[in-house]
Amino acid sequence: MEIRSRIGKSIIPKVRMALALAISIMADVLDYAAVPLLGMPIIGDIFDLVVMSMLYSITKSKVSFIMNLAEFLPFLGDFLPVYTASTIIWILRESGYDGLFMARRLIRLLSGTQSNV
């Protein structure tokens, strides 16, 4: 029974991450490929709402949801892969990646090196 619970805990988050990433990549590709159709205000906004609700139901991340709201900004949401970027940030946060910790280590490393000029 213990093995099953360990397997379930390790597989489920990975499936959620893969599903969210697949949906976000497909949505961004459709955003670029179907510009004539999704560029129309009402149809494009409905598409964005559907994608955002699907991603939120998978990730349950308010930060990603707020980032995805950039899709409603004219031109910015059309040219940037907002869904993919927010999903990758969510995956990094869920995986335990601490960007601030890594940035501090990098600054210490760079400040500790001496210039031989």
Higher pLDDT, 20 or 105: 20
Higher pLDDT, 23 or 93: 23
Model confidence over 5-20: pLDDT tens digits?
444 567 888 899 999 9
Contact status, residue 92 vs residue 61, Cβ threshold 8 Å: no
Higher pLDDT, 23 or 79: 23
pLDDT over 60 at 73, yes or no: yes
pLDDT over 50 at 4, yes or no: no
